[in-house]
Amino acid sequence: MANRIKHGFQEKLIELAVEGLLPTKLISISSRKCRKYAQVLSSIREVGLIEPPVVAPFKKEKGYLLLDGHLRIMALKELGVEHVYCLISTDDETYTYNKYINRLTAIQEHRMIVKAVQSGVSEEKLARALNLDIGTIRNKRNLLEGICPEAIDLLKDKVVPEPVFKALKKMQAPRQIIAAKLMNDQNKFNSNYAKALLEATPTHLLVNNGKPQKETPAILARQVRLEEESLALSQEIGSLKDQHGTAIIDMTSMQAYLKRLLGNQAVAKYLREFNEPIYDKFKEIAELDFFRLKNLA
């Protein structure tokens, strides 16, 4: 019979006293001055608590450990809220979910704002909830205007600063796609790289041919060189990724063989007695985490 999957959280929320939650990390007083805390406070004040804090019960004593949501709890205390509904974790390790949590990307934030506006939420209310001015809300709402769908799809799950999209908007669609692929291949999403790609873009691939500028032979040569180097680097990175994937498969197969080999007690005993260095090396390879190495590619 197949093993049942263990649930990481209890199915129902439980109401707990805010003051009774024991934090698992210290939050300094200066945290009240940071932008993130101001956004949390504004959001709770305007629309209420959206994401419940995560807690775990003490194993031997009464009470609950606060695993995630320290800023939310701080904000609730400041607002005078005495009780909060919490998500109960079956594991008291904050590592379990904090390691894998994904923050909103610029594109996801844009879509969230667009959906909220389409649902009837006013820009003013969004600004208050996110502790932003209306101008910023409008900029985020219009973030993808002028960006082609293919480029959006390439960048949708990447942490891309908003100035990058401003640079892309000055390019025509075919060039936007190439620029997005180059950023993906080289894992570079900063505004300086986007500006460099914009400067290397031929005039005929700019929106409205770009601003009139004097194209000297030196400027043209620099544009061509940057384009060639970027494409060559992307091709080299792609080749290395393919080679790395093949090497991981080979190493995984070899590791499986060594595990079976060392699982044979007679072989393991012989190696330990007559060739301990080889036994130690085989054991080291058998215990390597190739999944982690693969994710570093």
Residue 226's contacts (CB-CB under 8 Å, 6 or more residues apart) are 196, 199, 200
Q: What digits encode the pLDDT tens for the residues 24-42?
A: 887 777 777 888 888 888 8
Task: Specify if 264 maps to a domain.
Answer: yes
- For residue 75, the enclosing domain spans 14-93
Task: Specify if 255 maps to a domain.
Answer: yes
Backbone torsions φ then ψ of 89, nearest 5 degrees: -85, 145
Where among 63, 93, 123 does a domain terminate? 93
Task: Specify if 222 maps to a domain.
Answer: no
User: How many Cα atoms are found within 13 Å in the side-chain-facing hemisphere of 167?
Assistant: 23
Residue 201 has pLDDT above 80, yes or no: yes
Q: What digits encode the pLDDT tens for the residues 277-297?
A: 888 888 888 887 655 544 444
Where among 74, 93, 112 does a domain terminate? 93
What pLDDT score does 247 carry? Answer: 73
What pLDDT score does 37 carry? Answer: 86
Three-state SS at 178: helix
High-pLDDT (> 90) share of the chain, %: 19
Whole-number average pLDDT of the chain:
81
Backbone torsions φ then ψ of 64, nearest 5 degrees: -135, 140
Task: Specify if 211 maps to a domain.
Answer: no
Where among 45, 72, 93 does a domain terminate? 93
What pLDDT score does 142 carry? Answer: 92
Cα four-point dihedral sign 81, 85, 91, 94: negative
- Give CA–CA dist 32/240, Å, rounded: 46
What is the residue-wise DSSP string for 8-33? SB-SS-EEEEGGGEEESS---GGGGG
- Give CA–CA dist 204/211, Å, rounded: 11
Residue 144 has pLDDT above 90, yes or no: yes
Cβ 168 vs Cβ 194: under 8 Å: yes
- Categorize the per-residue pLDDT at 100 as very low, low, confident or very high, splitting at 50, 70 and 90: very low
What pLDDT score does 216 carry? Answer: 64
Domain count, the chain: 2
**CATH code for the domain of 82:** 3.90.1530.10
Cβ 210 vs Cβ 170: under 8 Å: yes
pTM value is 0.53
User: How many Cα atoms are found within 13 Å in the side-chain-facing hemisphere of 239?
Assistant: 6
Residue 5 has pLDDT above 80, yes or no: no
What spatial distance separates the first Cα and last Cα of the chain, rounded to whole Å? 36
Instruction: Report the amino acid identity of residue 249.
Output: I
Task: Specify if 34 maps to a domain.
Answer: yes
Nearest to 25 by CA among 109, 98, 81, 110: 98
